Structure 1
Amino acid sequence: MFILHISRGDFSISPLTRALGGVPAERFHAGPGPCVLYLHGGGYVIGSPHSHRHLTSRLAQLLEGEVFSLDYRLAPEAPYPAAVEDALAAWTALSAMGGRPVAVAGDSAGGGLACALTMALAARGETPPACLALFSPWVSLKTSADSYDRLAALDPMISRATAGFFARLYAPGERHGEPLASPLYGDVTGFPPTLIQAGGREVFLDDIQAFAARLQQNGVVELSVQPEMFHVWHLYWPRLAEARAALADAARFIERHHRTSP
């Protein structure tokens, strides 16, 4: 949910603005490699393609491919399920372009939204993304996991109060258990290969691990927990070696499944 602003000099690919299914997006093109729909974090309340430009441009460079960063609607002006509706509209438009496989990536709320998108596609009987790459995904709007207490003093980014505040702005409490709001409680049947990267010091950790355990039953998840890392450390790649390594691992995962996707 934390938004880091990096100066323009920290990325070298200029974005182009276009619409995907009527939803604004930034396009980063760095070659003929894999195509990715990126969903930014920010608790469904803040953030934009601009706030994540240094990350999405870096991912495009690593892939030597194309990344579309979606400017989906935000709460409280556009509460749940507006973000899911926008992700579906963009996915439909992007997957129809050129008939190529499309991966979906996202951080924090964007990671949860990537999972909700996949569940919504399954409910429609549609083909899932080629793969998912999730960075510290927010998979439950509920804040009852033990890690909210156990790691409270170690997480510099998120607290129970912060998560609860954003969750209430996004959806009323009685809807926090709905799968498209909290994918932890949804059906993961048919999920594609999924990479989850989490920090060992983030309060989301227990929910992330519980979600990964459900995916593991289908044999489709690779979970990487970096013990010393915090929530979406990937945002600090210009200054943090661990972030550069995580993004490189994610790019390799996407490339591998781009090649094997039908």
Structure 2
Amino acid sequence: MSTTMHESLPPLRPGRPSSPELDGRRAMFAPTEIDPGLGISSEATEIADIECLVLNPEGSVTILYLHGGGYRMGSPEAYNAYGATLAAGADARVVLPRYRLAPENPFPAGLHDAVAVYLELARASDTPIVLAGDSAGAGLAAAVTVTMCLGDARRPAGLMLMSPWLDLRCSSPFYGTASDVFFTRDTAASARDDYLQGAPQDDVLVSPLLADHAGFPPTLIQVGGDEALVGDALGLTTSLAGHNIGCTLEVLADQGHTWPLIQPESAAARASVESCVRFIRSRSSSG
């Protein structure tokens, strides 16, 4: 990690043990299966001393995908199927880091891991890198982008966010009106408390919606019309437009939080994946 990057990140802090209830919820993130018809191979490796799952190692563009789970759940293996679909459609190498989770490893441990993997990928190859993620992973991808804009490293060629949790103040009015029950204000507050453990909610590396977005790359944002995070998606879209940065916002009517992962066979999920593939391909010639 470069000196500039290191200085821009807060120091690591001790955490606390997970609860039996959280352990049970973590177990629900079971590995998914790669469709053999896609012809996508996978390998476990270490990048910057972080365990990673790499799908389609010979892809022509790299997607650094940061999984969701409220900063306290999730795994690379749970994204086998989704990642393989992106890899096959866009001829992309998909890198899924096993970043550290709260409450055992609160902010900024996961961010340290994600930044380290990104910097190593950028150092090792000129291949374009698209930063991507869903829910908390989308917030983490945006925070990595903020970190790159604060430092002197190569910036990502694109940013691709699904159901992005970008403001941990959780003050958007959509929390009060959303019909989706998968990611409610109470769920968000519980995950936030496990992740922050006293860190300020308005730190731009915690809530990247509050950052200066000058220097951000072209961005694709997808959000379900029924979910509470519509406000976060709208806020980032407005800010990027104010900086004259290309941004496509797709609001999928009647869809809830991370619908392509929860209902992958639905028409809405297939449409979302197709849009992601087009976006990745559009960034594949960028550095």
* TM > 0.5: yes
* Counterpart for residue 178 of structure 1: 203
* Counterpart for residue 53 of structure 2: 26
Contact 2:100 2:110 in 1 (8 A): yes
Q: Which moved more, 1:91-100 or 1:106-115?
A: 91-100
Alignment partners' CA distance in 1, 2:219 and 2:184: 26
Q: Which moved more, 1:58-67 or 1:191-200?
A: 58-67
Contact 1:103 1:130 in 2 (8 A): yes
Alignment partners' CA distance in 2, 1:147 and 1:238: 25
Q: Deviations over 1:216-247 (max 9, x none)?
A: 11232111111211111110454211111101
Q: Deviations over 1:44-90 (max 9, x none)?
A: 00001011221111111111221111110000111001111111100
**Residues 33 and 9 (structure 1 numbering): CA distance in 2 closer, same or farther, change over 3 Å?**
closer
* Counterpart for residue 251 of structure 2: 225
Check if 1:72 corresponds to 2:89. no
Which secondary structure state, in structure 2, belongs to the residue aligned with residue 24 of structure 1? strand
Counterpart selection for 1:136 from 163, 185, 197: 163
Alignment partners' CA distance in 2, 1:80 and 1:182: 11
Contact 1:157 1:231 in 2 (8 A): yes
Alignment partners' CA distance in 1, 2:207 and 2:63: 23
**Residues 117 and 7 (structure 1 numbering): CA distance in 2 closer, same or farther, change over 3 Å?**
closer
Which secondary structure state, in structure 2, belongs to the residue aligned with residue 73 of structure 1? coil
Check if 1:197 corresponds to 2:222. yes
Which secondary structure state, in structure 2, belongs to the residue aligned with residue 96 of structure 1? helix
* Counterpart for residue 240 of structure 1: 266
* Counterpart for residue 140 of structure 2: 113
* Counterpart for residue 209 of structure 1: 234
* Counterpart for residue 109 of structure 2: 82
Alignment partners' CA distance in 1, 2:56 and 2:123: 18
What is the number of equivalent residue pairs in this alignment? Answer: 259
In the alignment, structure 1 segments of 5+ residues that lack a partner are none
Which secondary structure state, in structure 1, belongs to the residue aligned with residue 77 of structure 2? coil
What's the TM-score, normalizing by structure 2?
Answer: 0.85
Contact 1:30 1:64 in 2 (8 A): no
**Residues 239 and 189 (structure 1 numbering): CA distance in 2 closer, same or farther, change over 3 Å?**
same
Q: 1:98 Cα deviation (Å)?
A: 2.5
Contact 1:188 1:214 in 2 (8 A): yes
Which secondary structure state, in structure 2, belongs to the residue aligned with residue 100 of structure 1? coil
Contact 2:48 2:120 in 1 (8 A): yes
Alignment partners' CA distance in 2, 1:249 and 1:159: 26
CA RMSD of the aligned region, Å? 1.9
Q: Deviations over 1:119-155 (max 9, x none)?
A: 111111222100011001110111221101111xx10
Alignment partners' CA distance in 1, 2:31 and 2:227: 22
**Residues 61 and 161 (structure 1 numbering): CA distance in 2 closer, same or farther, change over 3 Å?**
same
Alignment partners' CA distance in 1, 2:273 and 2:210: 28
Contact 2:221 2:250 in 1 (8 A): yes
The amino acid across from 1:106 in the alignment is: G
Q: Deviations over 1:168-220 (max 9, x none)?
A: 00003551110000101111110000000111100111122112111111232
Which secondary structure state, in structure 2, belongs to the residue aligned with residue 51 of structure 1? helix
Identity of aligned residues (%): 35
Alignment partners' CA distance in 1, 2:243 and 2:118: 24
> What are the within-5 Å matches in structure 2 for residues 117-128 of structure 1?
117-128=144-155
In the alignment, structure 2 segments of 5+ residues that lack a partner are 1-24
The amino acid across from 2:223 in the alignment is: A
Which secondary structure state, in structure 2, belongs to the residue aligned with residue 223 of structure 1? strand
